[in-house]
Structure 1
Amino acid sequence: MTLYSKDELIAKFIELSEKGWVKNRRMGNSGGVGNTLEDYLGIEENNLPIPNAAEWELKAQRKNTTSLVTLFHSEPSPRALKFVPCVLLPHYGWQHKEAGRKYPETEMSFRQTITCKYSDRGFCVKVDRDAEKILIVFNPLEVDPKHSDWLNQVYQNIDSGCTNICTMQPYWGFRDLSCKAGGKLLNCFYVQADVKREEGEEYYWYNSVKILQNFSFKGFLDALESNNIYIDFDARSGHNHGTKFRMSESAWPLVYEKITPIIQDGEVLRTSY
């Protein structure tokens, strides 16, 4: 793997932008923008080939997308319980939409994208600054009536009443999450691409690059409380796809103290860092 200085990496971004449209090298892969960029740079799985790479992250995304950016994966505590597959899924899960077709009839699902505003299944995120924890809260009174059958099943699953239905709460401690997020996201190259399709093939033009510096955990907590960061659970009986912290790209200014454009709409704004 070739090693780059930061300036050499920026030069590679400029070179790629000036190429114009390049073909998706991973057709059928939802992460084609990032995968094709990694292939071009000759790197694997976001392993940035620069000195002090542990301080830098690479994020790539389509322009004008409503999709969220995955910041990092982190399973909630208490981790020894394997909380998502062993507590949330069996106690609060529902039948998977592909049960009886792609999966067995008994296949269960727990897929929820949760913010500090209650979801229609009664889940929300709570930032407890006194206890220094981010918690997942369940309130059956917030469950939409369309899920009444599921709620009745929840009561049966845990054999409990409304007042103590969620006495065990999944959580992330501030200290642990700050280390995780700060270590993963301290500084970041954020690359965007326009997308087009021709004759069944997909093409990208990597024409926007920003440097995001000085990740702020305080800003991260503020963004959580303002519903700009989402916690995404994606588990089913056969597999836990992991718990992700995600956000929209418009929220970068909330979590980074400095944002420096390098390329904007194909125009090179600076050539070194």
Structure 2
Amino acid sequence: MIKTLDDFRREMEKISEQGWIRTHRSGPTGIGKTLEDLLGIEENNASEPDFGAYELKAARDTDSSMLTLFTKSPQPPRVNSYLLNEYGYQSDNYEYDKKVLHSTLSANSPSRIASTGKTLVVACTEDRIVLVGNDGYKNTDEAYWEREKLRQAFNRKYKHTLVYVKAKSRGVGRDEEFLFYEAYELSGFDYDGLMDLLQDGVVKIDIRIGQYSDGRAHDHGTGFRIHPQYFDKLFRNKALIWSRQ
């Protein structure tokens, strides 16, 4: 089990000697799962660091998939049911009598919600991040995140120093392979910078709401997400700690 940056560097040299490594899991999360397995880190969703005092993140260098920074349902309570009823739609990928609401939302342009004729956009107010439909605010029914609660949650999530590993990728699905080539130490999470990127449309909000068999709404992980190439902009301090020779 690695505990220090020296341990990490030593293990990355061993991984580097293997060259291209086949993914341990198909799909967007394959790179993180593969690196964790190679480093002997057990997969977990806890708030504790992945090794020693460090969180671990990995990304493909040309990845079009987005990294999930944080998952948190909007307020007020039961607003997911409102969103599902107001903006949900039926999908061929799910039971025909169930609604879903899957959409990636941005602050710089409204997002069309399937074929409903409706849109949602992210609006940044002084004290809230709000989801606004093309029919405007819905008063008590609007979905929002309080800025101060988000600040506290993000600062807890990223209170540890991060080790951010980049890899080249080739192939797809189960046949995808990775060549890990550099790693950075990131610290000093910048929440205000995150809010600026959200307002600029760089950070997006993924809505993933489904429906239980009894009709209740189910949040599959509404998340704040970012393209990997912008990830390091969320931190004040960045240092290269390992590179492939």
Q: What range describes the TM-score normalised by the shorter chain of this pair? A: 0.7 to 0.9
Residue 92 in structure 1 maps to residue 87 in structure 2: yes
Q: Give the aligned partner of residue 124 of structure 1.
A: 121
1:137 aligns with 2:111: no
Q: What TM-score comes out, normalization by structure 2 length?
A: 0.83
For 1:54-65, list aligned pairs within 5 A. 56-65=54-63
Which amino acid in the other structure matches residue 108 of structure 1? K
> If the length of structure 1 is used for normalisation, what is the TM-score?
0.76
CA shift at 1:3, angstroms? 4.5
Residue-by-residue CA offset, 1:47-77 (whole Å, 9 max, x unaligned): 645333xxx3221122211111111111111
Q: Which residue does the alignment assign to 2:52?
A: 51
Residue 222 (str. 1) matches residue 196 (str. 2): yes
Please tell me whether residue 74 in structure 1 is matched to residue 72 in structure 2: yes
Structure 2: distance between partners of 1:220 and 1:204: 29
By how many angstroms is 1:167 displaced?
A: 4.4
Aligned to 2:226: 247
Q: Given the alignment of the two structures, is residue 111 of structure 1 paired with residue 102 of structure 2, yes or no?
A: yes
Give the CA RMSD over aligned residues: 2.3
Alignment of 1:176-191 (within 5 A): 176-186=149-159, 187-191=161-165
Identity of aligned residues (%): 28
C-alpha distance in 1 between matches for 2:170 and 2:196: 36
CA 1:136–1:21: 2 relative to 1, 3 Å = same
Q: Retained in 1: the 8 A contact 2:73–2:219?
A: no
| Alpha-carbon distance change, 64 to 225 in structure 1, aligned in 2, over 3 angstroms | same
How far did residue 230 of structure 1 move? Answer: 0.2
SS at match of 2:150: helix
CA displacement 1:152-192 (0-9 Å, x = unmatched): xxxxxxxxxxx765641111112211121112123321112
* CA-CA distance at 1:262 after TM superposition: 2.5
Q: Which residue of 1 aligns with 2:4?
A: 5
> What secondary structure does 1:111 align onto?
strand
CA displacement 1:115-162 (0-9 Å, x = unmatched): 112223321111112xx211111123xxxxxxxxxxxxxxxxxxxxxx
Cα distance change, pair 97–44 in 1 and its aligned pair in 2 (3 A): same
Aligned equivalents of 1:33, 1:138: Cα separation in 2: 35
Unaligned runs of at least 5 residues, structure 2 = 113-117, 213-217
Q: 1:175 aligned to 148, 171, 175, which one?
A: 148
Q: Which moved further from structure 2: 185-194 or 242-251?
A: 185-194
Q: Which structure has greater helix proportion?
A: 1
Q: How far has the Cα of 1:219 moved from its partner? A: 0.4
Whether contact under 8 Å (2:57, 2:164) holds in the other structure is: yes
Amino acid in the other structure paired with 1:174:
R
Q: 2:134 is paired with a residue of what secondary structure?
A: strand
Distance 1:31 1:125 in 2: 26
Please tell me the residue identity of whatever aligns with 1:75: S
Query: Residues 157-168 of structure 1 correspond to what in structure 2 (within 5 A)?
Result: 165=138, 167-168=140-141
Structure 1 unmatched ranges of 5 or more: 141-162, 268-273
Deviation at 1:18, TM superposition (A): 3.4
Contact between 1:62 and 1:195, CA under 8 Å: does it hold in 2?
yes
Computing the radius of gyration from Cα coordinates, the structure with the larger value is 1
